[in-house]
Structure 1
Amino acid sequence: MPIPSGRPGLGRSLLRDDVYRRLRDAIVEGAFEPGEQLKDGDVAAWLGVSRTPVREALLRLEASGLVVAVPGRSTAVSTIDPRAVRDARDVIAAMHGLAVRETTGRLSAADIERMRGANRRFAASLAAGDISAALDADDELHMIPVAALGNSAAEAVLEQFGPLVRRAELSRFTRGGRSSVERHEQLIGFMASGDVRGAESVSLDIWHSLTEDGAAEEALTQAS
């Protein structure tokens, strides 16, 4: 088959992913509030793009549980469903637990230092009240073992359900988060020393304690 002439479709792919990330972050960080309608024309104008990548992004966000679409009517930001948060949290915990279990004792010294650096930035961002930066540093820390694992299926699961859990993290870190800094240090220490059982235990504790305080936990309690 001859190579097609003209430019490849990479630009459109990058645009589609960028629109998805911009919308995802706006929802997670509260720029768009639960219940707010997302009209593709308005969103397209806001981002300076056509409606097509916006519609594609909304479909991906619906699969993640961040928006709810009513056929023939509208798309709106989802409310924080306690059961959905719990389910996503448990799946996320399992994927990160797998990554930690399989990479403890195998990470390079550079990887361990990157985790420590991410935790320092996480702590500094919390102290400064920059929750968005704290979430970015938290993601960076936890994704180092995931990247080292190299399991594309696990990465796909985290990509799909991570944003829903991140909304709960936002609530938690807004109210504090010092305990997370300490748990991170414990995790890093166990991984550096090759203590598989200790590292996996702390990793699961980090994710399962995600909703131990804040609005998400109150919702979970009421739903139980």
Structure 2
Amino acid sequence: MGALRPIQRTLLRDTAYAAIRDAIVRGELPPGDPVRDADLAERLGLSRAPVREALARLGEEGLVETKPQSYTRVTRLEPRAVREAAVVVRAMHELAARAAVPLLTTEDIGAMREANARFESATRSGAVGEALRADDELHDVLVRACGNRAVAATIARYTPLIRRLEWRQFAEASALESAALHERLIDACAAQDADQAARVTAQIWRALEELADEPAGEPEEADETDESGMV
């Protein structure tokens, strides 16, 4: 039996979702920006169907909003939403760290150290995207090792809301502090001290809750009556 068509469609939907999500996180699609499925489909080289599905998912995750017969647009950066997401993500990473530490291999520890080295290097050179990717890769070692799919899914669901604000307010000084905390986390993991790893993890992610209280310099929202963003 040949490959089933729905599998390919799901892959296209996921591809569209990841591309649009990342564009929103990076600010390439800024807050208040109207989005049309036809335009996005053309830019991504996809049909409109997977793009529509991707936008529906992004709406559920709070990255786009739709007013029927009026507009679909990128949501504004809301400090409360970021704080709430950061609290949930922190709790999930604490749980992942506590469960993962006894299961980590020498290779896992090495991967974390290598990711942190890239994080620090990218931070010093001002490469925000590379720094955030390295940060994700470091923490993903623990998420994968813990083996809890619910934890992984929850982190994937809420992290883009936080990264979106981090991308706009990335500061070298605070990022270098994070690199130092990463080292403490890795040392705790290497020593198989799950309690210490969870405490340091909480400290790392709690800083992102505080980031939501800093002014983001958000541009004014577009007029809701403007239909230029209709899907």
Q: TM-score, normalised by structure 2?
A: 0.88
The one of 202, 208, 212 equivalent to 2:206 is 208
What does residue 143 of structure 1 align with? 140
What does residue 227 of structure 2 align with? none
What does residue 192 of structure 1 align with? 190
Matched, 1:41 2:38: yes
Paired with 1:211 and 1:151, the residues of 2 have a C-alpha distance of 24
Q: In structure 2, what residue type is equivalent to 1:181?
A: A
Paired with 2:79 and 2:56, the residues of 1 have a C-alpha distance of 22
More relative contact order, 1 or 2 (CA 8 Å, 6+ apart): 2
Paired with 2:2 and 2:114, the residues of 1 have a C-alpha distance of 44
Matched, 1:168 2:165: yes
The one of 13, 16, 39 equivalent to 1:19 is 16
Paired with 2:158 and 2:78, the residues of 1 have a C-alpha distance of 13
Q: In structure 1, what residue type is equivalent to 2:72?
A: T
Alignment of 1:114-125 (within 5 A): 114-125=111-122
What is the SS of the residue equivalent to 1:200? helix
What is the SS of the residue equivalent to 1:14? helix
Q: In structure 1, what residue type is equivalent to 2:166?
A: E
Give the gaps of 5 or more residues in structure 1: none
Q: In structure 2, what residue type is equivalent to 1:47?
A: L
Answer yes or no: is the 8 Å Cα contact 1:28–1:166 preserved in 2: yes
Deviation at 1:192, TM superposition (A): 1.0
Distance 1:184 1:154, change over 3 A: same
Q: In structure 2, what residue type is equivalent to 1:69?
A: T
What does residue 182 of structure 1 align with? 180
Deviation at 1:217, TM superposition (A): 2.5
Q: Which moved more, 1:145-154 or 1:164-173?
A: 164-173
Distance 1:212 1:171, change over 3 A: farther
The total of aligned residue pairs comes to 214
The one of 79, 83, 93 equivalent to 1:86 is 83
Deviation at 1:158, TM superposition (A): 1.2
Distance 1:212 1:59, change over 3 A: same
What does residue 100 of structure 1 align with? 97
Work out the percentage of aligned pairs sharing the same amino acid: 44
Answer yes or no: is the 8 Å Cα contact 1:131–1:174 preserved in 2: no
CA deviation map 1:157-190 (0-9, x unaligned): 1121111111122234345411110011111111
Answer yes or no: is the 8 Å Cα contact 1:172–1:210 preserved in 2: no
Give the gaps of 5 or more residues in structure 2: 217-231
Q: In structure 1, what residue type is equivalent to 2:74?
A: V
Paired with 1:141 and 1:15, the residues of 2 have a C-alpha distance of 27
What does residue 155 of structure 2 align with? 158
Answer yes or no: is the 8 Å Cα contact 2:87–2:209 preserved in 1: no
What does residue 126 of structure 1 align with? 123
CA deviation map 1:143-168 (0-9, x unaligned): 11110111111111112111111112
CA RMSD of aligned residues (A): 1.6
What does residue 8 of structure 1 align with? 4
CA deviation map 1:5-35 (0-9, x unaligned): 5431232222111111000000000101000
Answer yes or no: is the 8 Å Cα contact 1:168–1:211 preserved in 2: no
